Chains A and B, each alone.
Chain A
């Protein structure tokens, strides 16, 4: 059984369309980030989140009314997870710049107001308080980790393949990170620790796919020295197409299961992975090889631009 029987699509023909489409999504994402600001979760912005489970059905409005007295500043109150669970999430930004005892005031005030209001029995399911010091620290660490990861992968591919290929791989990976961020913005997910972890996992996954194709290009260049690099690259993409699609499909299925059954805590994580997998597959087929070829020079033939080092 086979999904593609001897596929021979001319992917290089769609190169510019693909680059245009990706640019559009990325620019829209950046535009969103600039105009509306990057939606940071409390891990990075600092603040307080309390998740309360009520015994009786309780609406967001009831909780808002309960909190109206005694809470200052704007708070986000929303139903958490399945409606039937009667769980409500309350998020309050960090009001005070200083640290210390003031840090827990918001959480205490929230629990206190809910206990005083006549809402029946309730239980605090989880409580997160992140001070401004930690928030800033995590922002810096998250950014550094992502950049360092990209750099590390570039260096590795640069060592194993030719430099133009490393640039192609890293362009594809950067593309996936930016596209994933754009979709996170569009669908209203906040950047949290878990989401950044998923983005880092995506950098690994995306480059994984790309390497499979580059490996095949390297192998084909050894045997088909007459053909142009363009032709060899396109042939390699076709040869690995079944594998690319099947792998993406099965990984997508397992992460979909995580998205559907993994619970509220991992929803952002799973969503990020889902977008990243789709973007990673797309960029592998349309972006990575295209950029590697473009950077190698259009008219180059395999003989003069051996994609692999002679020794490998």
Chain B
């Protein structure tokens, strides 16, 4: 063996060893996609309009408060849509004072004067900024919730459009529970009950003579009856502005109430405790509405001043109290979520798919092996070694870059076998031609490889272009396919040209061959 050849063999053995090291043991190092492992893939839209509406409403409320303090009388303040609010009936005498009060509003809003009033519209760059922030906040909140669910290797990321979020939860079996946990807005508000409960919405309105003042709102909720009986639905008139919200929460955990029923206890941070303490002190004897996502969960009477602790009781099951404390701990979503796409693969289907894919790959490999040995004899054996090394390298590189193995990815393996065969056939047919034209064995082999190198490079580059667009196009499984195809193409250039050639040279170095088994 010449020195040159020895180095080539060492390089090949090194590559094989590195590849095996990279993917061994495969059940730990090769990541399986959702379609093989089972799990759920969700695409959701963050309704960023919610956050804009909240911003506009809050700004309008704050302005109203400010005008009241400054004794500036105005007409109705209306919020017709998420982006703008209007102030009517600004008198000419107070116009200057009104404008002076706008400094804070005009940071984010453009002012336009209309008939007897003003319209304020959110500035376009602020809109973009707010939407961006909302999606980022939603992503963080979802991530915290998913982590609390204890899913291994979850994906929480932005999806193609700016307001879309992709969530992948491998191995999750109770999809509906996971969806509920991700989706619940989990906005906790503690509000003072003004009147109620009423059996229906109509009678709640009737309590104000059908004309509910703007600082009061009617919320649905449950009325606790006799312990042991399920609560009935009722309506409460509560103050619109919350005393404390979930933003001031420090912790929430499942617990049991005095009747041993599941409940959720929560505690406030310093800021929240100060607000809650002052509120309860001032309202002893009144009812407190615990509002979760716009629904009164319970309305206990305030017995004494409470600072930093509270408890939500209701008709919870154990699971519900756990889930509720989970979503409260992870914080409220800044906007509601709607589902755009959902794909669920049961774990049994995933296992079946792996079996089917492996069977297909083994079948394909066997057919190719038979053909190559039958048609190319010993040279066919060379080709098979090259293809086997290609597959080992493919597995190793995929494990190394952390690529995900999917069902179409297994198809990519099968196509990689096809490509390996293709390159070898290309070379072998060329060697045969060179032999036919009267060249000696060594010269024919050398000429075969040299002439075909350019062709192999051309074909592989063209295929890589197709694979690149495939990667751009696809999500999940298809990306796995594009990834497998790309890595397979790259490693195939090495195995078909370098490995296969070295194997030929190795065979020919042993003897002074006059013929070649091809």
Contacts and interface: CB of A to CB of B under 8 A. Distances in A.
B35 interface: yes
A228 to B, nearest CB: 22
A93 to B, nearest CB: 15
A174 interface: no
A302 interface: no
B310 interface: no
26 contacts: A99-B45, A99-B338, A101-B339, A103-B338, A134-B43, A137-B161, A142-B473, A145-B469, A148-B472, A152-B465, A193-B477, A194-B408, A197-B474, A201-B467, A204-B467, A207-B459, A208-B459, A208-B463, A242-B429, A246-B375, A251-B421, A254-B368, A257-B361, A263-B352, A265-B35, A266-B411
Nearest to A145: B473
B470 A201 contact: yes
A156 B161 CA distance: 31
Interface string B406-431: 01101100110110011001100100
Interface stretch (A19-27, A119-127, A178-186): A119-127
Contacts of A68: none
Interface in B366-418: 367-368, 371-372, 375-377, 407-408, 410-411, 414-415, 417-418
Given A101-B338, A103-B339, A215-B454, A126 B346 contact: yes
B250 interface: no
A219 B365 CA distance: 33
Given A137-B161, A250-B425, A263-B353, A145 B472 contact: yes
A262 B342 contact: no
Contacts of B371: 249-250, 253
Given A127-B344, A160-B458, A204 B466 contact: yes
Contacts of A266: 356-357, 360, 407-408, 411
Contacts of A240: 429
B113 interface: no
Interface residues of A, number: 74
B518 to A, nearest CB: 9
Interface string A46-60: 000001010000000
Contacts of A216: 455
B101 to A, nearest CB: 39
Interface in B471-491: 472-475, 477-478, 481-482, 485
Contacts of B45: 99, 133
Contact of B343 (A100, A127, A196): A127
Given A208-B463, A265-B35, A200 B473 contact: yes
A251 B415 CA distance: 7
A254 B417 contact: yes
B383 to A, nearest CB: 10
Interface string B224-257: 0000000000000000000000000000000000
A2 B425 contact: no
Contact of B356 (A131, A148, A249, A262): A262
B359 interface: yes
B348 interface: yes
A255 B462 contact: no
A148 B467 CA distance: 11
Contact of A253 (B338, B368, B410, B464): B368
B455 A152 contact: no
Contacts, number: 228
Nearest to B432: A2
A100 B338 contact: yes
B152 interface: no
A interface, by DSSP: helix, strand, loop or mixed? helix
A175 to B, nearest CB: 16
A148 B415 CA distance: 22
Interface of B: prevailing SS: helix
Contacts of A247: 418, 421-422, 425-426
A104 interface: yes
Given A1-B375, A258-B411, A265-B35, A100 B462 contact: no
A204 B463 contact: yes
B407 A254 contact: no
B211 interface: no
Contacts of B467: 201, 204
Nearest to B481: A197
| Most central of B376, B377, B462, B465 by chain A CB within 10 Å | B462
B341 A153 contact: no
A261 interface: yes
Interface in B20-58: 35, 43, 45
Interface in A230-286: 239-240, 242-243, 246-247, 249-251, 253-258, 260-263, 265-266, 269-270, 273
B414 A104 contact: no
A168 to B, nearest CB: 14
B16 interface: no
B485 A201 contact: yes
Contact of A251 (B376, B422, B459): B422
Contact of A263 (B357, B454, B475): B357
A201 B469 CA distance: 10
Interface string A140-151: 011011101100
A30 interface: no
A260 B342 contact: no
B364 A254 contact: yes
A162 B353 CA distance: 45
A215 B455 contact: yes
Nearest to B366: A257
A164 interface: no
Interface in B423-461: 425-426, 429, 432-433, 451, 454-455, 458-459, 461
Given A126-B346, A194-B408, A258-B360, A153 B474 contact: no
A125 B349 contact: yes
Nearest to A107: B342
Interface string A187-203: 00000011011001101
A137 B160 contact: yes
Interface string A87-118: 00000000000011101100100000000000
A205 B466 CA distance: 9
Determine which residue in B367, B422, B475 has the highest number of CB atoms from chain A within 10 A of its CB, and name it: B422
B284 interface: no
Interface string B506-518: 0000000000000
A306 interface: no
Most B CB atoms within 10 A — which of A134, A148, A203, A269?
A134
Given A127-B343, A194-B477, A250-B418, A255 B459 contact: no
A211 interface: yes
A209 to B, nearest CB: 8
A192 to B, nearest CB: 10
Nearest to B336: A100
A259 B139 CA distance: 40
Most buried by A among B464, B481, B485: B481
